Amino acid sequence: MTTTGGPGDTPSVALRTEALEQLLTERGLIDPKVMNEIITQYETNVGPLNGAKVVAKAWTDPGYRRRLLQDGTAAIRELGFSGQQGEHIVVVENTPTTHNVVVCTLCSCYPWPVLGLSPSWYKDPVYRARVVREPRTVLSAMGLEPDDDVRITVRDSTSEVRWLVLPERPAGTEHLSEEELVALVTRDAMVGVAKVTAP
């Protein structure tokens, strides 16, 4: 017995998506092999490790940090990262007094070349609706409590501009190499819903 209802029920979103893919494939409008390649590419080859490399380089190379904050797209391309959803990336820095957090209230715009595909919470209507309204409450629920004097800026990605947060380098990491720093940088810190912590 399945739990899907009788003929009167509307088929599930998953089934409707499969139906749409089949119909468009039969009409020669999409190629499932290409779709699978895109998914594999962004699930396995491109991910937050790219962004972590960008952040660790900015932490250890002041010249790179300057270029990154001035022209994010170009500085990120220096490390070989570019492509879809990364045509124009703006990098903003979190400091002891300023905290940036990124959202797309309209859908789920996200800088793929440096962070890969977005996590499900980023696409959640609750996160999208609430973080532009009460960011401190949302960050607190996600385990981050910025001090009262920290100025919070919420970045709503409503156009082709993509935002990447350069997190604050944690104290006590002065002796670590760039490579060791890469391992500390998390996806959530680069969206601005977490801080990077020392090992």
Partner 1 sequence: MLTERSVLAPGAIEARARNLRGEHVAEPPITEPARPHYAPTSERSLRPVDAAAAFGVGERVRAKSMSVPGHTRTRLPGYIRGHTGVVDIVQPAHVLPDTNAHFLGENPQHVYTVRFDSRGVWGPDAEPFALTVEMYESYLETTA
Whether 104 is catalytic: yes
Instruction: Tell me how many degrees the CA angle 28-34-39 measures, rounded to the nearest 5.
Output: 135
To partner 1, the closest distance from the beta carbon of 16 in angstroms equals: 5
Q: Out of 105, 142, 168, 170, name the contact with partner 1 by CB under 8 A.
A: 105
State the catalytic residue, choosing from 82, 108, 140, 159. Answer: 108
Phi, psi dihedral angles at 196 (to 5 degrees):
-85, 135
Whether 177 is catalytic: no
Quick one: which segment of 9-17, 41-49, 119-127, 174-182 binds partner 1 (CB under 8 A)?
Answer: 9-17
Quick one: which segment of 15-23, 58-66, 164-172, 183-191 binds partner 1 (CB under 8 A)?
Answer: 15-23
Task: Measure Cα distances from 59 to 54, 106, 144, 177 in Å.
Answer: 9, 32, 22, 10
Residue-level length of the chain = 199
Task: Measure Cα distances from 108 to 8, 48, 111, 190 in Å.
Answer: 32, 16, 10, 15
Whether 159 is catalytic: no
| Residues contributing to the site for partner 1 (CB under 8 A) | 4, 7, 10-12, 15-16, 18-20, 22-24, 27, 29, 87-88, 90, 105-106, 132-137, 151-161
